[in-house]
Structure 1
């Protein structure tokens, strides 16, 4: 494990960017909507639009990864989750299953990449550093390093005292890319982890007698925590305000270009993502 602040040299310059915070009301239906929006916005950034920091939440969703979708009973498990009123999708970025609700803030840095040169570790350190800096009013204990047993584990898990509150992934396009993260701020990390583990158990057929068990993530609820539990952060709004101050201290926030994504294009992109990722076997 590494302390985020000591391991982050801030060699990546944060460009001037648009700060776009999606109202919760706009994401209450299909969780693919904000992901599709980012796909389209990323194309525009690749064509010369200003970089974007997109913030959004969803009231109740399970977002799974490509490998999760390939588990033998994944379609049935996904449909069962949907039947309980939870939106479900397969995301285009890397990573594994994540449970979202009103207490989880999703952050996406959408950046140009005209030279097709991406430093994965540097970009992940940049995102981890921003997340840790925003936590500074409450805690300086943020560390990076994989938390075994967490959901959506990776080398740049961000944790406090061994419990993960944030995961980071990436999505590349031809001329731009997205560094995306989820940050659990309110609520129970263990309850979200239990929900993810229940999905995996069903998707793998772990409750079916005589069925060969595939390899799948085993989630330990004790490895996950929200920032309310780990550092006393009072609300998503308080953390978001702190993040805004961090961004303003490092770069210029530009006016939002409201014409980046058109409604018709968004609907078409949602359908295209579902066809491409949710139909895989």
Structure 2
């Protein structure tokens, strides 16, 4: 325990990942990172759509295929050029539609996601990580999977910034956006949140990790959204966001670019002895292919929009 909070690194043995996993990447990198990246054109394909629901629809489809045994358990790394993903309860606030329209007018895409949690900003300085896994018979404690993903993220920070990783703590950060039991923070400032989505035969555990840019500015964006969505009505249930509780890893002494962090995630998987097969390799070896433009993904996005909008 550190300052009364848990260190996620101690949970590394509580859940195990499969020895082989597929890898799907849809990471939009900033121009400065492109200039310094040796992986440009290889696995850092930008998001193909400005539709905020496409990444979630992609994972919904991939999760069904993992559950059906059509593809290996997988990891999905992605980012978005600029948007806010809302929780279902957020969308029911009295003036949520007006507040969402205000964001759209600023060029900030919006969507209501189907995994747990509340509103979060997703831009090119935020890396989203999802573990898509088949359900194990008799498995009941989903907290093990939260701990597993928390430990992977902490180990990835440690690859380039071990001192920052040593100070990562897991536990709810009050007054952050999308607060939860498995928030990850350094010095009481949150940089990551974790949620999950379960299907009949598979599930995914998802984390957003704020890497570069200002956590406080992102917090202010979400605070203003709630202020507008509530229309001044009292007694409503939504996060009381205080921007000073939020930060990017680069502000906390950790990795400051998405390139460094995503490379570290893959290194951590390799260190654990996990063989990662990129999407192109999966297609060559098994014929399996799935991307944002796939008709099944587009249909899943339509269904999600109708169900949760």
Confirm or deny a common fold (TM above 0.5): yes
Query: What number of residue pairs does the alignment pair up?
Result: 273
Determine whether 1:12 maps to 2:15.
yes
Question: Tell me, which stretches of 5 or more residues in structure 1 are unaligned?
Answer: none
Give the Cα separation in 1 of the matches to 2:224 and 2:87.
Answer: 15
In the TM superposition, 1:63-82 aligns within 5 A as 63-82=85-104
Question: Structure 1 residues 84, 255: CA separation in 2 closer, same or farther (over 3 Å shift)?
Answer: closer
Give the superposed CA RMSD: 1.5
Kept in 2: contact 1:142–1:158 (CA 8 A) = yes
Question: Structure 1 residues 156, 252: CA separation in 2 closer, same or farther (over 3 Å shift)?
Answer: same
Deviates more, 1:143-152 or 1:19-28: 19-28
In the TM superposition, 1:229-268 aligns within 5 A as 229-250=251-272, 251-256=274-279, 257-258=282-283, 259-261=288-290, 263-268=294-299
Give the Cα separation in 2 of the matches to 1:190 and 1:28.
Answer: 27
Question: Structure 1 residues 23, 189: CA separation in 2 closer, same or farther (over 3 Å shift)?
Answer: closer
Kept in 2: contact 1:46–1:114 (CA 8 A) = no
Deviates more, 1:182-191 or 1:241-250: 241-250
Partner of 2:214: 188
In the TM superposition, 1:149-160 aligns within 5 A as 149-160=175-186
Partner of 2:43: none
Determine whether 1:108 maps to 2:130.
yes
Determine whether 1:29 maps to 2:50.
yes
**Structure 2 residue matching 1:63: 3-state secondary structure:** strand
Give the Cα separation in 2 of the matches to 1:23 and 1:133.
Answer: 20
Give me the TM-score of the superposition, normalised by structure 2. 0.85
Give the Cα separation in 2 of the matches to 1:187 and 1:30.
Answer: 22
Question: Structure 1 residues 107, 73: CA separation in 2 closer, same or farther (over 3 Å shift)?
Answer: same
> Could you list the per-position Cα deviations for residues 56-101 of structure 1 after superposition, in whole angstroms to 9, with x for gaps in the alignment?
0001000000111111111111111111111100001000100011
In the TM superposition, 1:49-64 aligns within 5 A as 49-64=71-86
Give the Cα separation in 2 of the matches to 1:116 and 1:276.
Answer: 30
Question: Tell me, which stretches of 5 or more residues in structure 2 are unaligned?
Answer: 29-45
Kept in 2: contact 1:143–1:159 (CA 8 A) = yes
Partner of 2:192: 166
Cα displacement (A) at 1:255: 4.3
Kept in 1: contact 2:47–2:78 (CA 8 A) = no
Give me the TM-score of the superposition, normalised by structure 1. 0.93
Cα displacement (A) at 1:27: 4.4
Kept in 2: contact 1:204–1:214 (CA 8 A) = yes
Question: Structure 1 residues 27, 99: CA separation in 2 closer, same or farther (over 3 Å shift)?
Answer: farther
Give the Cα separation in 2 of the matches to 1:223 and 1:116.
Answer: 38
**Structure 1 residue matching 2:122: 3-state secondary structure:** strand
Give the Cα separation in 2 of the matches to 1:221 and 1:123.
Answer: 28
Kept in 2: contact 1:188–1:229 (CA 8 A) = yes
